[in-house]
Every structure is written in structure tokens, then in C-alpha cells.
């Protein structure tokens, strides 16, 4: 197991890229800026290592990372309608950074923070502890929150993300990582033929602004039913209004049944790569990069629609407006602790 750091020149004076490398050669690289995961190399069925996430060719472009490539997201992942919520009878107004709504922590979210990083390695894993204190009122949110995120790569080709946070006041919080996965390797193909299997029988209905309506729908007899496996292209070709609202694809919160050991399994038939997701989070937003265009210079090629799939394990901001949704309420002095493991295998 190895860890290393490499200062990034020409961007910020305090930007550093860190590398976690296991004994098989699998590598995870990330920045202290936004905790952004820039590279994950994983083997295909012929043990050929290639990058399986989207990242910019020029690190300067992460300063304007509107697609949140690889970033840590918070304080609240997802959309908050009108940027407004009530907490303990008090009105809280957040900045609006997506039309009339607040998205992914706002214009100064955790994706734009320079985190403190402490590397570690053991006989079986290489990792890093990312720490940051978000002060009361930062991003419009109440409470001073002490955050700690652990990235860990094991010799079993598991990449684990553990989140911890404590607030000195009642607040709202749900954290996630916004990596775009593409198992074809080095962005050789789009993700339309990726097959997804998901332990979920319910998803959240959205309106035309991608704001939850308050309805939780059954996946049965829809292209949102991934319980037995389904290709992403099914949702792209779908005439379902929910897919059309999401710009012909998926950008929806799925509620996990937690009946299987693994909540998500993604496979890519040509490379033979398989990515499994195991989490204690109540659900996940699956976003199929429907909003990407061709204007961004990525490491391997120009960007395009459907080039990556995000697996954003989290709770639901819809709980601020509607009952029956996984809560994001965090009482003062109560420990927020969540974990997601991405395991890379082959078939």
C-alpha cells in the first residue's frame, strides 16, 4: 500500500493531488480542493488498468466545476426548493444557484473548500482523512459543523468513503460524493450499455424543475425498475414523463429496500468491469449525465451527454417539505455517520 502527494502548480497555492495505491496497482487520486476525485484506475477482465471516472484534463477547470465532477457535496446534496426551509420554527433562506432553487450546498459548498488532509497506510489499506470546519451561517446553513471524511483504498479493490460530522446547533445535513463512473475505461464509450441492478422498489417523482413533488412511486412496470438489472439506455429511450423531465435519462432519488447485501451493481459487458455499491444510506440519486455537453476538455476526450453515471448515496432534501422521506435533520451534538463502499471486480 502506498500514499503520495503532489502539489498542483498554476491553480491555487495550496492545491495538492493525493494518490492512494494498493498492492495490485489500483489507484485513487484526489484533490484537497473539494475532495475532488480526479482518477480511479481499475482493471478490466484482462487485468488492464484504465481510468473509470470523469476528470478534467486541465486542473484549472475544477475552479468552475459546474458538473461537480468527483466532488464532495454538502452541506446538503440535492435540490432545496426555493432555497428555503423551516427549522425549529425559524425560516432559513439559502442562496439560489440553480434557477430559483438551491443545489448541492450552493455557490460556496463543500466542493469549493480546501480540506485539511492527513494520509495513512496500513498493511491492508491506503487512505486519507479530510477535515474541515464549516462555520455557523456558511452557505446560509445554521450551526458550526465539524466534518471528517475518510477515503480508503483496500487490497480487495474496495474504495470506501466514511462521513462524520457534528454540529453545535440543530441543522440539516446530507453528504455525498459526485463521481461520474464510466466502466468502459478511459472514456472509450458512453454509459448507455452499462447495466444497473438496484435494490430499490420505489423512487421519488420529480416536477419539471427536478424538484420532488412529494410522491413516492413504485418502480413496477416502469423503466425505473432495476431490481433484476436494466441498461441505462432504457431510460434514455423512454417516453415516461419522468425521464423527459430529466432531459431524457435519470436524475432521480431511489429508496433502497436494503434487502440485498449490495444496494447497486453496475456492469459493463465489453471491459468486464463490475462496480458494486454497499451503503448504509437510505437511498441514492442516480444521474446519467443528461446535462453534459461537448464543450469540456476531459483527460481522455471531449465531454458529451451520457458519458458517466453518478451514484450519489444520501438522504433526501425532500424531507424538508414532505413527510415520508429519509430525513436530513441533524440535532445539535449528534454524530452524523454514513459509509459507502465502491468495490471494483470483473465478470
Q: Which of 126, 128, 135 is nearest to 149 (CA)?
A: 128
Write phi, then psi, for 125 (nearest 5 degrees): -155, 155
Which secondary-structure segment (H or E) carries 242?
helix 241-245
Rounded distance, CA 319 to CA 327, Å? 5
CA angle 209, 80, 134 (to 5 degrees): 145
Q: Which of 146, 151, 144, 63 is nearest to 108 (CA)?
A: 63
Let me know if 178 is a catalytic residue: yes
Choose the catalytic residue: 50, 138, 268, 312. Answer: 312
Let me know if 312 is a catalytic residue: yes
Burial label, 137 (beta-carbon count in 10 A; 0-12, 13-18, 19+) = exposed
Choose the catalytic residue: 178, 194, 195, 321. Answer: 178
Q: Which of 120, 111, 109 is nearest to 18 (CA)?
A: 120
Three-state SS for 75? coil
Residue pair 120/2 in contact by the 8 Å Cβ criterion: no
Would you please indicate which residues are annotated as catalytic (active-site) residues?
A: 178, 312
Amino acid at each position: 500500500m502506498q500514499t503520495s502527494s503532489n502539489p498542483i502548480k498554476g491553480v491555487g497555492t495550496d492545491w495538492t493531488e493525493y494518490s492512494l495505491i494498493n498492492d495490485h496497482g489500483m489507484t485513487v487520486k484526489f484533490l484537497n480542493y473539494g475532495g475532488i476525485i480526479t482518477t480511479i484506475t481499475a482493471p478490466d477482465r484482462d487485468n488492464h488498468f484504465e481510468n473509470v471516472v470523469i476528470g478534467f484534463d486541465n486542473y484549472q477547470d475544477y475552479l468552475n466545476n459546474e458538473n461537480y465532477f468527483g466532488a464532495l457535496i454538502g452541506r446538503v446534496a440535492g435540490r432545496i426548493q426555493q432555497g428555503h426551509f423551516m427549522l425549529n420554527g425559524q425560516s432559513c433562506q439559502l442562496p439560489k444557484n440553480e434557477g430559483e432553487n438551491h443545489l448541492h450546498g450552493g455557490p460556496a459548498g463543500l466542493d469549493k473548500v480546501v480540506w485539511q488532509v492527513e494520509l495513512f497506510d496500513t498493511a491492508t489499506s491506503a487512505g486519507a482523512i479530510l477535515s474541515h470546519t464549516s462555520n455557523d451561517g456558511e452557505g446560509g446553513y445554521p450551526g458550526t459543523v465539524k466534518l471528517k471524511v475518510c477515503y480508503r483504498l483496500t487490497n480487495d479493490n474496495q474504495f470506501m468513503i466514511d462521513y462524520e460530522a457534528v454540529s453545535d446547533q440543530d441543522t440539516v445535513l446530507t453528504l455525498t460524493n459526485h463521481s461520474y463512473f464510466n466502466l468502459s475505461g478511459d472514456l472509450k464509450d458512453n454509459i448507455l450499455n452499462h447495466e444497473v441492478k438496484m435494490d430499490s422498489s420505489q423512487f421519488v417523482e420529480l416536477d419539471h424543475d427536478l424538484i420532488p413533488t412529494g410522491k413516492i412511486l413504485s418502480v413496477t412496470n416502469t423503466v425505473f425498475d432495476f431490481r433484476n438489472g436494466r441498461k441505462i439506455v432504457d431510460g434514455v429511450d423512454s417516453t415516461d414523463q419522468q425521464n423527459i423531465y430529466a432531459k431524457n435519462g435519470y436524475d432521480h432519488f431511489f429508496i433502497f429496500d436494503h434487502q440485498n447485501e449490495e444496494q447497486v451493481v453496475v456492469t459493463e459487458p465489453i471491459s468486464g468491469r463490475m462496480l458494486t455499491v454497499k451503503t448504509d444510506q437510505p437511498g441514492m440519486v442516480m444521474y446519467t449525465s443528461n446535462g453534459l455537453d461537448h464543450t469540456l476538455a476531459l483527460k481522455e476526450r471531449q465531454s458529451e451527454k451520457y458519458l458517466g453515471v453518478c451514484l450519489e448515496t444520501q438522504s433526501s432534501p425532500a424531507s424538508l417539505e414532505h413527510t415520508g422521506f429519509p430525513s436530513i435533520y441533524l440535532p445539535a451534538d449528534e454524530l452524523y455517520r454514513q459509509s459507502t463502499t465502491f468495490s471494483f471486480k470483473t465478470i
